[in-house]
Chain A
Amino acid sequence: MSTLDTAAPGAHEEHHGPATGIGRWLFTTNHKDIGTLYLWFSLLMFLIGGVMALLIRSELFQPGLQLVEPGFFNQLTTMHGLIMVFGAVMPAFVGLANWMVPLMIGAPDMALPRMNNWSFWILPFAFAILVSTLFMDGGAPNFGWTFYAPLSTTYAPPSVTYFIFAIHIMGASSIMGAINIIATILNLRAPGMTMMKLPLFVWTWLITAFLLIAVMPVLAGVVTMMLMDIHFGTSFFNAAGGGDPVLFQHVFWFFGHPEVYIMILPAFGIVSQIIPTFSRKKLFGYASMVYATASIAILSFLVWAHHMFTVGLPLVGELFFMFATMLIAVPTGVKVFNWVATMYRGSLTFETPMLFAIAFVVLFTIGGFSGLMLAIAPVDFQYHDTYFVVAHFHYVLVPGAIFSIMAGVYYWLPKWTGHALNESMGKFHFWCSFIGVNITFFPMHFLGLAGMPRRIPDYALQFADFNMVATVGAFIFGFSQLLFVWNVIHCIRSRETVSAQVWEGAHGLEWEVPSPAPYHTHTTPPRVE
Chain B
Amino acid sequence: MDAAQANRRLILRLLMASVLMFGFGFALVPLYDVFCKVTGLNGRITATGPVDAVAVDTARSVKVRLIAINNEGMPWAFGPTESLLRVNPGEMKQTAYRASNPTTRRMVAQAIPSVSPGEAAQYLHKINCFCFDSQALEGGGAIDMPLMFMIDTDLPESIHTITLSYTLFDISPDKTGTAENDTQEGGSPI
Contact = CB atoms under 8 A, between A and B. Distances in A.
A binds B: yes
Interface of A: 1, 4, 111-112, 153-154, 175, 178-179, 182-183, 186-187, 213-222, 225, 229-236, 238-242, 244, 246-247, 250-251, 254-255, 312, 314, 317
Given A239-B169, A241-B180, A241-B182, 18 more contacts: A153-B179, A179-B14, A183-B7, A183-B11, A183-B14, A187-B10, A214-B21, A216-B21, A221-B22, A221-B26, A233-B182, A234-B179, A239-B167, A240-B112, A240-B170, A242-B189, A247-B29, A254-B28
B81 interface: no
17 contacts: A154-B178, A179-B14, A182-B10, A183-B7, A183-B10, A187-B6, A214-B21, A217-B20, A221-B25, A233-B180, A233-B181, A236-B29, A238-B180, A239-B112, A242-B184, A254-B28, A312-B118
A378 B179 CA distance: 37
B118 A240 contact: no
A448 B28 CA distance: 33
A105 B32 CA distance: 43
A213 B26 contact: no
Interface string B36-74: 000101100000000000000000000000000001000
Interface of A is mostly: helix
A111 B7 contact: yes
B78 to A, nearest CB: 14
Question: What range describes how many residues of B lie at the interface?
Answer: 35 or more
B1 A217 contact: no
Interface string B155-190: 000000000000101110000001111101000111
A7 to B, nearest CB: 8
Contacts, number: 122
Contacts of B11: 111-112, 179, 183
A225 B29 CA distance: 10
Given A231-B179, A246-B42, A217 B189 contact: no
Which of B18, B71, B167, B169 is packed against the most chain A CB atoms within 10 Å?
A: B18
B77 interface: no
B110 interface: yes
Nearest to A228: B179
Contacts of A178: 14
Contacts of A220: 22, 25
Interface in B1-34: 1, 3-4, 6-7, 10-11, 14-15, 17-26, 28-29, 32
Contacts of A183: 7, 10-11, 14
A503 to B, nearest CB: 33
Which of B14, B20, B171 is packed against the most chain A CB atoms within 10 Å?
A: B14
A241 B117 CA distance: 23
B167 A225 contact: no
Nearest to B5: A1
Which of B21, B118, B190 is packed against the most chain A CB atoms within 10 Å?
A: B21
A186 B10 contact: yes
Given A218-B22, A225-B26, A240-B110, A4 B179 contact: no
Contacts of B184: 241-242
A164 to B, nearest CB: 13
B22 A214 contact: no
Nearest to B10: A183
